[in-house]
A and B are shown apart, each in its own frame.
Chain A
Amino acid sequence: MSDVPLSHILFVSTALFFIGMYGLFTRRNMITMLMAIELMLNSVNINFVAFNKYLFPDKLDGIFFTIFIITIAAAEAAIAIAIIINLYRSHQSIDVEDATELKF
């Protein structure tokens, strides 16, 4: 386990964060955009756990933070999906390109 250096793990998490950001900017389906945001949050989780395990193993701050991020991401997804369902009822679509009444 400790054979893997910290920089490798940080590379994975950074890549994951920017893949998530790319997905958020390019995808047009709201559920997929939500998934992209979850990817960003999960990459932060990896960051926290890795920092905690490699650099500061005597305290558990990072692990606690991860647990709270997971909880809040679930709450955020619940509200976002409720909003998307309501949007589908009024627009008959979950494509962001169709929700264009408010501009400039």
Chain B
Amino acid sequence: MILTDFFILLRQELLITAIIFGLLIVKLGKDRSNESILMLINLLLLLNLAAGFFCSTEGALFSDMFRTNKLIVLEKNILNLAIWIISLQSYSWLKTHKHVIEFYILLLSALLGMFFMISSGNLLMFYLGLEMSTIPLAAAANFDLSKRQSSEAAMKLIISSAFSSGLLLLGISLVYGTTGTLTLSELSSQMGHNPLQVFAFILLISGFAFKISAVPFHLWTADVYEGAPIAVTAFLSVVSKAAVLFVFVSILYTTFKSLAELWYNLLFLLALLTIIIGNLFALRQDNFKRFLAFSSIAQVGFILIGISGSSQAGTASVVYFILIYVFSNLAAFGVVSLVSAVTGKEKISDYKSFYTTNPMLAWVLTIALFSLAGVPPTAGFFGKFFLLMAGSANGSYWPITIAALNMVISFYYYLRVVKAIFMDANDKPVQKLVVPALPKLALYICVAGIIVTGLWSSVYDYIYSLSPGF
């Protein structure tokens, strides 16, 4: 291992580590105003995002524990972008908060864990990254220390994530017992249809399904999303889900390739259950965060359909959809967090005739919801279209048809919110909000992203050219 290799391949992780230590030093130094700290952090995160685009090379470190290639760098850049947008959006919430730096240290150490998880070439490294990305998030979910709901949400998150990592570990230990290795590249040749290995594989899948909240394991999601502060909810629903999905795709496609006909059916079952139940529960929600939680469960179902395609297009469509999902979900969360920070209102019925007082925010929210639903000019349509196309490549049209029909159901509840914003009368609509510069910038970036990634086809072509085949 040459030292320059170390610095080039690990540069994204090293940057995050440097930012964390820098924040610790700022915390120890003299008191500064929240505004200046937030400006500094947002600037650092922007630099971190920009630095990710330079000198991306392939390679492996620490005897294949850590590996990277252009697709992995791109995935990390997507996560960097998401955390920068979340940081810009939480400006008005954090401006008056006492513990700004601790909040960023928790989020950034979770992000660091995700980076190591995405780059892991060994099940030990993968487990360490996974735990490093969930434990700080449980602490962050409890960040409103005085709120009753916040501590309840954090308790639910830590207990269910500890249980799911217990299942995952039993799976890993059985894989180790039957093959004698933990390296992903060596595992792929040794996994067969030995019943113990199939059992271990099912345990691993259920561990993953917990983290991405696919349906039989989704019950914690809505509670945690409702109780946690909105910035943490946005992080949980976008960044941590995206990171686990990236790893899930690469592990299924390379390490467990020999079990393909097993997980092909399993994924379809999980995906259809996830879409249907996510949709049915989203119909009856009135709290906006809960509504977005169930809508994100349904979106994960579509992503699972794309994964089941098991082709180069499968990987590409998943990464492309997650990029779109980052923009559209964060635009929705941005508006909700602005309204909640000023007025404390989080119900959908509070958004009635929102358009009369806040036309700009109403349009942003509408475009975001159109993109989540998949209305054509927005990127969400193209994302879902590519996912379904990838899923139908193997010729199983029935599940694809059911998924496509479920898009119609999802139109009902997304458009119900749009109707409330534009058409329903309300005596006391949300007052006119003053949007600070940084959240406004974040919202503009999201809207631009929703429109540009949809219309500019070379984004998908670029991701497709980086994706490995099956």
B-contacting residues of A (Cβ < 8 Å)? 17, 20-21, 24, 30, 33-34, 37, 40-41, 43-44, 47-48, 51, 55-56, 59, 61-62, 64-65, 68-69, 72, 75-76, 79-80, 82-84, 86-87, 89-91, 96, 99, 101-104
Asked if B162 contacts A48 (CB within 8 A), the reply is: no
Asked if A99 contacts B173 (CB within 8 A), the reply is: no
Asked if A80 contacts B158 (CB within 8 A), the reply is: yes
A87/B166 contact (C-beta < 8 A), A48-B173, A72-B128, A79-B139 known: no
Q: Which residues of A lie under 8 Å from residue B226 when comparing CB positions?
A: 102
Q: What's the nearest-Cβ distance from chain A to residue B297, in Å?
A: 14
Q: Which residues of B lie under 8 Å from residue A65 when comparing CB positions?
A: 124, 127, 172-173, 176, 182
Q: Does B313 contact A (CB under 8 A)?
A: no
Q: Which residues of B lie under 8 Å from residue A99 when comparing CB positions?
A: 151-152, 155
Q: Which residue of B lies closest to A91 (CB)?
A: B148
A101/B173 contact (C-beta < 8 A), A33-B159, A41-B166, A72-B131 known: no
Q: Which residues of A lie under 8 Å from residue B169 when comparing CB positions?
A: 41, 44, 69
Q: Does B258 contact A (CB under 8 A)?
A: no
The one of B145, B158, B227 that contacts A102, using a Cβ cutoff of 8 Å: B227
Asked if B138 contacts A87 (CB within 8 A), the reply is: no
Q: For window 220-234 of chain B, which residues contact chain A by CB distance below 8 Å?
A: 222-223, 226-227
User: Do most interface residues of chain A lie in helix, strand or loop, or is the interface mixed?
Assistant: helix
Asked if B128 contacts A86 (CB within 8 A), the reply is: no
Q: What's the nearest-Cβ distance from chain A to residue B290, in Å?
A: 9
Distance of A62 Cα from B182 Cα, bound (Å)? 9
Asked if B162 contacts A37 (CB within 8 A), the reply is: yes
B115-135 CB mask vs A (1 if < 8 Å, else 0) is 000000000100110010001
Query: A47-B177, A72-B127, A76-B131 given. 6 additional CB < 8 A pairs?
Result: A55-B180, A82-B142, A90-B151, A99-B152, A102-B152, A102-B227
| Residue from B142, B151, B166, B181 with most neighbouring chain A CB atoms (10 Å) | B166
* A–B complex contacts, Cβ < 8 Å, 28 sampled: A17-B170, A24-B159, A33-B159, A34-B159, A37-B159, A37-B162, A40-B166, A44-B170, A51-B176, A55-B180, A61-B124, A61-B182, A65-B173, A68-B128, A69-B169, A75-B135, A76-B135, A79-B135, A80-B162, A83-B138, A83-B139, A87-B155, A89-B151, A90-B146, A99-B151, A102-B152, A102-B153, A102-B222
Asked if B176 contacts A62 (CB within 8 A), the reply is: yes
B: contact size bracket: 35 or more
Q: Does B154 contact A (CB under 8 A)?
A: yes
Q: Does B250 contact A (CB under 8 A)?
A: no
Q: Which 3 A-B pairs have the closest CB atoms?
A: A102-B223, A47-B173, A40-B166
Q: Does B444 contact A (CB under 8 A)?
A: no
Asked if B166 contacts A37 (CB within 8 A), the reply is: yes
Q: Which residues of A lie under 8 Å from residue B128 when comparing CB positions?
A: 68, 72
Q: Which residues of A lie under 8 Å from residue B180 when comparing CB positions?
A: 55-56, 59, 61
Q: Which residues of B lie under 8 Å from residue A51 when comparing CB positions?
A: 173, 176-177
Q: Which residue of A lies closest to B141 (CB)?
A: A83
The one of B158, B166, B174 that contacts A20, using a Cβ cutoff of 8 Å: B166
Q: Which residues of A lie under 8 Å from residue B154 when comparing CB positions?
A: 83, 86-87
Asked if B131 contacts A87 (CB within 8 A), the reply is: no
Asked if B176 contacts A61 (CB within 8 A), the reply is: yes
Q: What's the nearest-Cβ distance from chain A to residue B144, in Å?
A: 10
The one of A47, A68, A83 that contacts B127, using a Cβ cutoff of 8 Å: A68
Q: Which residues of B lie under 8 Å from residue A62 when comparing CB positions?
A: 173, 176
Asked if A82 contacts B139 (CB within 8 A), the reply is: yes
Q: For window 82-125 of chain B, which residues contact chain A by CB distance below 8 Å?
A: 124
Q: Which residue of A lies closest to B177 (CB)?
A: A51
Q: What's the nearest-Cβ distance from chain B to residue A48, in Å?
A: 5
Asked if B149 contacts A86 (CB within 8 A), the reply is: no
Q: What's the nearest-Cβ distance from chain B to residue A102, in Å?
A: 4
Distance of A31 Cα from B193 Cα, bound (Å)? 40
Q: What's the nearest-Cβ distance from chain B to residue A84, in Å?
A: 7
Q: Which residue of A lies closest to B123 (CB)?
A: A65
A101/B149 contact (C-beta < 8 A), A83-B154, A86-B142 known: yes
Distance of A20 Cα from B153 Cα, bound (Å)? 23
Q: Which residues of B lie under 8 Å from residue A33 when comparing CB positions?
A: 159
Q: Which residues of B lie under 8 Å from residue A21 when comparing CB positions?
A: 166
Q: Does B163 contact A (CB under 8 A)?
A: yes
A83/B176 contact (C-beta < 8 A), A47-B170, A102-B152, A102-B227 known: no
Q: What's the nearest-Cβ distance from chain A to residue B219, in Å?
A: 10
Distance of A44 Cα from B166 Cα, bound (Å)? 8
Asked if B158 contacts A76 (CB within 8 A), the reply is: yes
Distance of A59 Cα from B186 Cα, bound (Å)? 15
The one of B173, B182, B222 that contacts A44, using a Cβ cutoff of 8 Å: B173
Distance of A35 Cα from B186 Cα, bound (Å)? 35
Asked if A101 contacts B166 (CB within 8 A), the reply is: no
Q: Which residues of B lie under 8 Å from residue A20 when comparing CB positions?
A: 166
Q: What's the nearest-Cβ distance from chain B to residue A19, in Å?
A: 12
Asked if A87 contacts B151 (CB within 8 A), the reply is: yes
Q: What's the nearest-Cβ distance from chain A to residue B152, in Å?
A: 4
Q: Which residues of A lie under 8 Å from residue B166 when comparing CB positions?
A: 17, 20-21, 37, 40-41, 44
